[in-house]
Structure 1
Amino acid sequence: MDKSLSLPVRESVKDNNPSLIGGACIIASVCVGAGMLGLPSAGAGAWTIWSVLAITLTMIVMTVSGWMLLEAFKHYDLKVSFNTVTKDMLGDKVNMFNNLTVYFVGGILLYAYITSSGLILQDVLGFDSKISSILFVLVFSAFVWHSTRAVDRISVVLIAFMVLSFVFGVSGLAVNVDMSVLFDTINEQTIYAPYSMAMLPVALTSFGYHHSVASMRSYYGEERKAKNAILGGTAIALSLYILWLFSIYGSLPRSQFGPVIEQGGNVDALLTALGSVIASEKVANAINIFSMAAILSSFIGVGLGVFDYLADLFKFEDTKQGRAKTWLVTFLPPLIMSLLFPFGFVIAIGYAGAAATVWTCIIPALLVRKSRSLENGNEGFKAPGGKAMIMLVMGFGVLTAVFHFMSMLGILPAFRG
């Protein structure tokens, strides 16, 4: 394997002994923005039980696929990136296609977060939504430009802030949770399972941290600590998702999701619908603060992964000037798109999920199969499962993409409220 292909995107901080919770929070922060704000609307048709089953299955598959990337990366220097490994193992054509999907997903997620932040900050600051979006990007992308350590620190703060506002908001919602609403027992003849298929692309995006795997490996200096950070991060995300869905679905009747879905699942529409069933203004404010923290944490986490990825792809140096160039190609295109073409949050997440199946499931499975065929492929870190697990991960990705396109064509049942 050609080690000369490795490019130092940023220096490893192995000697600084970074904490497990810091890395887990980075992974969780990448996930939770998309999941917290996209899953309630995307899962309205599947409702409580089938939504929980869908996101739990997705979490398991996506955690394993992240470990598969770690296994493939073990043949390279710590400073290697997803781009380098894919090009070396699978060739230029596969890597080019993978690059397009990685950038598309990262860009469309940043685009969705920037647009949503503008809509929320417009109400808080009183500024125009476009000005709010610009300020949001200028201020918070600075953490990504600075270093992984800065993202670690702000991610821990944001996750803690999210937990506090989440607990306060959820506890306020929990007081009003109606079990008949939570499990929709009023409509006993309703079928929920078919709607879970259309939900899977959003669920997959809700665990789409894979562009940050290389950063985690470099951050810890080894695969096993990075593995634990990934598991910790996806477990945190899953726990928050389940608590959030229980609180939303137990408070807002299934039939009242119609107006939210009509507006493309936009975050402000969801918050407005929740406001109509929340009696306490303080609880409503806590939910709004939580939503903003979720968007911010995911914006920074996704930004870090895309930043590192593009730095390697364009061979930008790890200097102030080089990092400024990487900042421009990372954040400027989604900002411009947000200002020109704002549209539904869940619609954007759905497209991202379909494209993300390539680099979250299919490419990791192909890489680990190639890795195990090498002479020293079975030495060192190894993801659990054999050929069956590889086929499971790849099959899950293919089916998720197929479900998205079937939904677009109107073949899958669509819940309208």
Structure 2
Amino acid sequence: MNKTLGTTLLISGTMIGAGMLAMPLTSAGIGFLFTIILLIALWVFLTYSALLFVEAYQTIESDAGIGSLTAQYFGRMGRVVSTTVLMVFLYALLSAYVTGGGNIFASFLPDTDLGISKEAISAIVFTLVFGFFIVKGTKSVDLVNRLLFFTMLGALVLVLLVMSPEITFDNLGAMPIDNALLISATPVFFTAFGFHGSIPSLNNYLNGNYKALRFAIIVGSMTTLICYILWQLSTHGVLGQHLFLEMLRKDPTLNGLINACYELTGSEILSGVVKTFSVLALITSFLGVALGLFECIDDLLRGAFNLNVGRSSLGVLTFLPPILFALFFPKGFILALSYAGQMFAFYAVVLPAVLVYKVRQQHPNLPYRVWGGNAVLIISIIFGMLISIIPSLIQAGILPEVVG
């Protein structure tokens, strides 16, 4: 039960990233009601796709990574495709978090004359400090994540308490200014429920206990959904839609949101707590993503090359590329996230659906089977592919742009 709780918090902590705070900017033109409908629909969809991984992992050893799982059903090419997609996805996310962490912690450092920027120093220190827990093992990640997660929830509660007296039902009743924004915002909220890259390492941590993993996924993702809804309730309820859109024109960033909330509430505490929450959310997401990448590289070396590499060497392979990215692209937070988003739809939706289709053909009597037959698998694949092309439609001018 202790490991199950830790896994649940790791799942939730991976999803509740700093991007959660900017969610209201993305949904400004949609309105509270339709934002909640969109969040719930995507939560159901991505929880379903995560549970497909649970079904598939019943058929292989608990310490197997995604490459070994796909190789079992699709051969060497399956390993190559799935591992490549997952590694690009996780490396892009980790690069974004290292860059973001460097930018945040740089504000606490004095300027230097060492020929290296304080953002670079901060990114390196940030990675070394929190990367240490990854190299040490999943148990250490679990322990530090619990401390950070509950502190982060406390910060969120404080934010909600400060903002809640200013909520009005008129603001919550705002309707979409453009119905097409519901489609445009879907990819942004879609990635907000992304923890799927960590599932192999969490399955290993739970020793292949599919019941515990299923519980952790459902409860962890539901905890995240509740946090998202409460945050949207507070921000949409405090900031009217017209004020939202005016704020976007002036400063379409997290700082703009914080400043607008401060103007309405007059609370300096709010600004400090939101920044604290941002730091904690960034770290918990970093831990979850780094753990998934670490285990993915280990599985690749053991399964494809029959190499047993030490944890320190795995740590270098895991963290050196993101550090180099942060050094050469110090402002590359959004650039890295854009590449991550393109990979996520395939890995989190298409891959588990195709895997489970093969699993059910070869293992028709598994103890646990996700609800729905092949028709639901096909629908999920189509839906995932449609979401993946929305950014291209936005760039082509067919769909309106959103912030986020």
Length-normalised TM-score, structure 2: 0.89
- Determine if the alignment matches structure 1 residue 372 to structure 2 residue 360: yes
Q: Which residue of 1 aligns with 2:226?
A: 239
Q: How does 1:184-263 map to 2 (within 5 A)?
A: 184=174, 190-221=176-207, 222-252=209-239, 253-255=243-245, 256-261=247-252
- Determine if the alignment matches structure 1 residue 158 to structure 2 residue 148: yes
Q: Is the 8 A contact 1:205 1:349 kept in 2?
A: no
Shift of the alpha carbon at 1:343? 4.0
Moved more, 241-250 or 280-289: 241-250
Q: Is the 8 A contact 2:95 2:333 kept in 1?
A: no
Shift of the alpha carbon at 1:125? 4.4
Q: Which residue of 2 aligns with 1:138?
A: 128
- Paired with 1:317 and 1:96, the residues of 2 have a C-alpha distance of 15
Q: Is the 8 A contact 1:32 1:294 kept in 2?
A: yes
- Determine if the alignment matches structure 1 residue 177 to structure 2 residue 167: yes
Structure 2 residue identity aligned to 1:43: S
Shift of the alpha carbon at 1:217? 1.9
Q: Is the 8 A contact 1:41 1:346 kept in 2?
A: no
Equivalent residues, number? 391
- Paired with 2:26 and 2:339, the residues of 1 have a C-alpha distance of 13
- Paired with 2:49 and 2:58, the residues of 1 have a C-alpha distance of 15
Unaligned runs of 5+ in 1: 1-16
Shift of the alpha carbon at 1:378? 2.5
Length-normalised TM-score, structure 1: 0.86
Q: Which residue of 1 aligns with 2:115?
A: none
Report the CA distance shift for 1:97/1:409 in structure 2 as closer, same or farther (over 3 A): farther
- Deviation track 1:12-63 (CA, whole Å, cap 9, x = no partner) reads xxxxx54422111011111111551452333333232222222211111111
- Paired with 1:416 and 1:211, the residues of 2 have a C-alpha distance of 25
Q: Which residue of 1 aligns with 2:294?
A: 307
| CA RMSD across the alignment | 2.5
Report the CA distance shift for 1:111/1:37 in structure 2 as closer, same or farther (over 3 A): farther
Shift of the alpha carbon at 1:259? 4.0
Report the CA distance shift for 1:344/1:270 in structure 2 as closer, same or farther (over 3 A): farther
Shift of the alpha carbon at 1:216? 2.1
Shift of the alpha carbon at 1:139? 0.5
Q: How does 1:316-335 map to 2 (within 5 A)?
A: 322-335=310-323
Shift of the alpha carbon at 1:313? 1.2
Shift of the alpha carbon at 1:405? 1.8
Structure 2 residue identity aligned to 1:100: T
Q: Is the 8 A contact 1:27 1:233 kept in 2?
A: yes
Q: Which residue of 2 aligns with 1:14?
A: none
Q: Which residue of 2 aligns with 1:8?
A: none
Q: Is the 8 A contact 2:18 2:278 kept in 1?
A: no
Report the CA distance shift for 1:238/1:395 in structure 2 as closer, same or farther (over 3 A): same
- Paired with 2:134 and 2:166, the residues of 1 have a C-alpha distance of 39
Structure 1 residue identity aligned to 2:161: S
Unaligned runs of 5+ in 2: 112-117
Q: Is the 8 A contact 2:102 2:120 kept in 1?
A: yes
